[in-house]
C-alpha cells in the first residue's frame, strides 16, 4: 500500500506536497519522493525513509514549481531500496513523472511487451516503472508535439486496455499539467478537491485519502471514478473523462478495516462510521453466541481497532479501557519481514497497563488477524500482567488469502487462518475464546455509508479476485516474492538517473 498526492497551484507547491505526504505517512514508511515542475524543468528528491528524513531544507529550495506529485511507499513484493522509491521519470515523450499506488497483475507480460514491441527500457523490477512506460508509450502513440486533453485521455484509455490489477495514479507532464486516473474496478482509492488561491483562481489537489485535502484546506469534490481520468492543466483548468470501456466499483474493503485513516471519506463512505458499525455488528454477534458472556473490560489494540472497540464495548454495556500504550515510533508490524523481527517489534511497540488487566476477563479487539504473531504476543502480555481470561475479537473475518492489488499481505502459508478452523487459530494464538466478524456484516458496515457501493474487493477473505486474471501460477510467484526469506535477502537493481533530471536521492 502506498500514498500518492498531486497538486496544481498558483505558487510553489513543494511545502504543500511535503505536508500531504506527512499526512499520508501511515500508507507507507519505506520510502518517500517528490517531483515538481517549473518552466518545463523537473526537479526530484526521493530516498528510503520517512518523509521527515527524506526532505531537507536544501531539497525544498530546489523543488520549485506550481505543480508537482509525491509518493510514500512500502514494498509489496519484498523488494526495497532507493532505486524503487517513487515517483519514476522518463524523458520521452515530453518528460513524464509518475507515482502509483497498487499492483499490476500482468506486470511481467507488460515488461516483455514494453521491451519487444514498444522498444522501451525498464530499469527496475517495479511495476510502477512498467506502468509509467506503458503510459509514456500510449502518449507517444498520439503523435502530437502539443498534446491536448483528448490525447491525454486517449493515452489513459490505452493504459486501461493493456493493464490489469489495482492502480491509482498521479502523473506530471512537463509544460502541460497533471493527470490522475484509477483502475476500472476502483480497487485503490483516489479523491480530488479544490480551493481558492490567494493569488486568485482555483488550485486543485489529488490524493489517496480525503484527509490530506482536509488538512491542506481543499474542498473535496469527488472520488475519481473507476476507469476515470482527470487532467489539470498547468494553468489550472480541470478536465475529466471516463476512459475505460467496462467499469465496476469494487473498492478494497481492507482500507476500511485497517489502512485508511478514520477521518477519511472513501467513495462517499466515512471510514470512521464504517468502523463504528464494524464494532456494533461484532457486538451483536457476541450477544448471539454468548448472551451470558463474562467480559469485564474491552481493550483495543491501538490504533486502528480503537473505533470498533469503543462501539463494541458500548453495545455490550461493558467498560472500555486503553490498556495498551503504543510507542508511536515503531512501524506497522505486519509489513515487517521476518518472524523474529516482528516479534521483537511487538514488544517494543506495545506495553500493557497492569491495573487494567489484573484479575479481569479481558476482551482484546483488533482490526484483523493476519499472521497471528502480533495477537499471540499481546495475549501473552495480558496473561503476564495478571489477566484472568483473555478473549480475542477481530473486526474483520479470517484473512485466508494473499492480496494481489497493492497490499503486502503475507503468503498463503504464512496466514494463520488459511486451512485452519477458528478453533485452531484460537488455540494457536493462546486465547480463551476467539470471534471473527462475519463477512456479510463487514460489507454491510461499509455499504450502510453509501448504498451506491454494492460490492467490495474482499479477496483476502474469499480468494475471489475481482480483476479476474489471477491464476494459481501467479499466486505461487507472489508467494515466492513475498515470503520472509525473500524479504530478508532480496536485492534490487539500481537505477541510473535519466539525463536532465535533478535528483537528490543521496541522503546526508
pLDDT tens sequence across 325-349 = 998 776 554 444 444 555 566 778 8
130 and 110 Cβ atoms separated by less than 8 Å: yes
pTM score > 0.85 for this model? yes
The predicted structure's pLDDT at residue 501: 42
The predicted structure's pLDDT at residue 467: 85
pLDDT per residue as tens digits for the range 70-93: 999 986 554 667 888 999 999 999
Is the pLDDT confidence value at 53 over 70?
yes
pLDDT per residue as tens digits for the range 357-386: 999 999 999 999 999 999 999 999 999 999
Q: Which residue has the higher pLDDT, 44 or 507?
A: 44
Q: Are residues 212 and 67 in the same domain?
A: yes
Cell numbers that stand for 261 in this block: 485513516
- Average pLDDT of the residues in 24-35: 96
Crossing angle of helices 271-289 and 439-447, in 10° steps, is: 140
271 and 261 Cβ atoms separated by less than 8 Å: yes
Q: Are residues 59 and 110 in the same domain?
A: yes
> How far is the CA of 288 from the CAs of 293, 431, 436, 444, in angstroms?
10, 20, 13, 18
In a domain, 220, yes or no: yes
**Is residue 493 very low, low, confident or very high in pLDDT (cuts 50, 70, 90)?**
very low
Q: Is position 127 annotated in a ligand binding site?
A: no
Q: Are residues 207 and 307 in the same domain?
A: no
Q: Are residues 68 and 214 in the same domain?
A: yes
Q: Which residue has the higher pLDDT, 460 or 1?
A: 460
CA distance 134 to 154: 13
How many separate domains does the chain show?
2
The predicted structure's pLDDT at residue 328: 77
Question: Which is the catalytic residue, given 2, 243, 252, 458?
Answer: 2
State residue 271 phi and psi, 5-degree precision: -60, -40
Q: Which residue, of 231, 247, 263, is where some domain finishes?
A: 247
Q: Are residues 45 and 138 in the same domain?
A: yes
In a domain, 334, yes or no: no
In a domain, 418, yes or no: yes
SS (H, E, C) 26-38: HHCCCEEEEEEEE
Q: Are residues 240 and 280 in the same domain?
A: no
Cell numbers that stand for 349 in this block: 511497540
- Tell me which DSSP letter residue 257 carries: I
Q: Per the omega criterion (within 30 degrees of 0), is the bond before 93 cis?
A: yes
In a domain, 203, yes or no: yes
pLDDT per residue as tens digits for the range 242-296: 999 999 999 999 999 999 999 999 999 999 999 999 999 999 999 999 999 999 9
Q: Are residues 103 and 227 in the same domain?
A: yes
Domain of residue 10, CATH code: 3.60.20.10
pLDDT per residue as tens digits for the range 131-170: 999 999 999 999 999 999 999 999 999 999 999 999 999 9
426 as an active site residue: the answer is no
Q: Are residues 175 and 293 in the same domain?
A: no
The predicted structure's pLDDT at residue 507: 28
The predicted structure's pLDDT at residue 499: 31
In a domain, 254, yes or no: no
Q: Is position 30 annotated in a ligand binding site?
A: no
Specify the residue for cell string 490505452: 158
In a domain, 112, yes or no: yes
**Is residue 487 very low, low, confident or very high in pLDDT (cuts 50, 70, 90)?**
low
pLDDT per residue as tens digits for the range 174-197: 999 999 999 999 999 999 999 999
Domain of residue 391, CATH code: 3.40.50.2020
Q: Are residues 196 and 122 in the same domain?
A: yes
Average pLDDT, the chain: 91
- The residues, any chain, with a CB within 8 Å of residue 115's CB and separated by 6 or more, are 121, 122
Residue 407 structural domain: 271-325+345-450
How many other C-beta atoms can be found within 10 angstroms of the C-beta atom of residue 446? 25
What percent of the chain is modeled with pLDDT above 70? 90
Q: Are residues 220 and 281 in the same domain?
A: no
In a domain, 332, yes or no: no
Pick the closest to residue 346 from 306, 374, 380 (CA basis): 374
Q: Which residue, of 450, 480, 496, is where some domain finishes?
A: 450
Residue 441 burial (CB < 10 Å; 0-12/13-18/19+)? middle
Q: Which residue has the higher pLDDT, 210 or 491?
A: 210
Q: Are residues 292 and 207 in the same domain?
A: no
Q: Is position 304 annotated in a ligand binding site?
A: yes
Among the residue ranges 13-27, 105-119, 169-183, 311-325, the one predicted with the least confidence is: 105-119
In a domain, 495, yes or no: no
Q: Are residues 234 and 288 in the same domain?
A: no
Q: Which residue, of 247, 280, 304, is where some domain finishes?
A: 247
Amino acid at each position: 500500500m502506498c500514498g500518492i498526492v498531486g497538486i496544481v497551484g498558483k505558487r510553489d507547491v513543494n511545502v504543500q506536497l511535503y505536508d500531504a505526504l506527512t499526512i499520508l505517512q501511515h500508507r507507507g514508511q519505506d520510502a518517500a519522493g517528490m517531483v515538481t515542475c517549473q518552466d518545463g524543468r523537473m526537479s526530484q528528491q526521493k530516498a528510503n525513509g520517512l518523509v521527515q528524513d527524506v526532505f531537507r531544507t536544501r531539497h525544498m529550495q530546489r523543488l520549485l514549481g506550481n505543480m508537482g506529485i509525491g509518493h510514500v511507499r512500502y514494498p509489496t513484493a519484498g523488494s526495497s531500496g532507493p532505486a524503487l522509491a517513487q515517483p519514476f521519470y522518463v524523458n520521452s515523450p515530453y518528460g513524464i513523472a509518475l507515482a502509483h499506488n497498487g499492483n499490476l497483475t500482468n506486470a511481467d507480460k507488460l515488461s516483455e511487451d514494453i521491451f519487444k514491441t514498444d522498444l522501451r527500457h525498464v530499469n527496475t523490477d517495479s511495476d510502477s516503472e512498467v506502468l509509467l512506460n506503458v503510459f509514456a508509450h500510449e502518449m507517444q502513440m498520439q503523435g502530437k508535439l502539443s498534446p491536448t486533453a483528448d490525447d491525454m485521455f486517449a493515452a489513459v484509455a490505452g493504459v486501461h486496455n493493456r493493464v490489469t490489477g489495482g492502480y491509482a495514479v498521479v502523473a506530471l507532464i512537463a509544460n502541460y499539467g497533471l493527470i490522475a486516473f484509477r483502475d476500472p474496478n476502483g480497487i485503490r482509492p483516489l479523491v480530488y478537491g479544490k480551493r481558492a488561491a490567494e493569488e486568485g483562481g482555483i488550485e486543485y489537489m489529488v490524493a489517496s485519502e480525503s484527509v490530506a485535502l482536509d488538512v491542506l484546506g481543499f474542498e473535496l469534490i469527488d472520488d475519481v471514478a473507476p476507469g476515470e481520468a482527470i487532467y489539470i492543466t498547468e494553468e489550472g483548468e480541470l478536465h475529466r473523462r471516463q476512459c475505460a470501456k467496462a467499469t465496476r466499483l469494487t473498492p478494497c474493503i481492507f482500507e476500511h478495516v485497517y489502512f485508511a485513516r478514520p477521518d477519511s471519506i472513501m467513495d462517499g463512505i466515512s471510514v470512521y462510521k464504517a468502523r463504528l458499525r464494524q464494532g456494533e455488528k461484532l457486538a451483536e454477534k457476541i450477544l448471539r453466541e454468548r448472551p451470558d458472556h463474562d467480559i469485564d473490560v474491552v481493550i483495543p489494540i491501538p490504533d486502528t481497532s480503537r473505533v470498533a472497540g469503543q462501539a463494541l464495548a458500548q453495545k455490550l454495556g461493558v467498560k472500555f479501557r486503553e490498556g495498551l500504550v503504543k510507542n508511536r515510533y515503531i512501524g506497522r508490524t505486519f509489513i515487517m519481514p521476518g518472524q523474529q523481527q516482528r516479534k521483537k517489534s511487538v514488544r517494543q511497540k506495545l506495553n500493557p497497563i497492569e491495573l487494567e488487566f489484573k484479575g479481569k476477563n479481558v476482551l482484546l479487539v483488533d482490526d484483523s488477524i493476519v499472521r497471528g504473531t502480533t495477537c499471540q504476543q499481546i495475549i501473552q502480555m495480558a496473561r503476564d500482567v495478571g489477566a484472568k481470561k483473555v478473549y480475542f475479537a477481530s473486526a474483520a473475518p479470517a484473512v485466508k488469502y494473499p492480496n494481489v492489488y497493492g497490499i503486502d499481505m503475507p503468503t498463503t502459508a504464512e496466514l494463520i487462518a488459511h486451512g485452519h478452523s477458528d478453533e485452531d487459530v484460537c488455540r494457536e494464538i493462546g486465547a480463551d475464546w476467539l470471534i471473527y466478524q462475519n463477512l456479510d456484516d463487514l460489507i454491510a458496515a461499509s455499504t450502510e455509508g453509501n448504498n451506491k457501493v454494492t460490492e467490495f474487493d474482499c479477496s483476502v477473505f474469499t480468494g475471489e479476485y475481482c480483476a479476474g486474471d489471477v491464476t494459481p501460477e501467479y499466486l505461487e510467484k507472489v508467494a515466492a516474492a513475498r515470503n520472509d526469506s525473500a524479504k530478508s535477502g532480496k536485492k534490487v537493481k539500481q537505477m541510473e538517473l535519466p539525463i536532465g533530471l535533478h535528483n537528490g536521492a543521496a541522503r546526508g
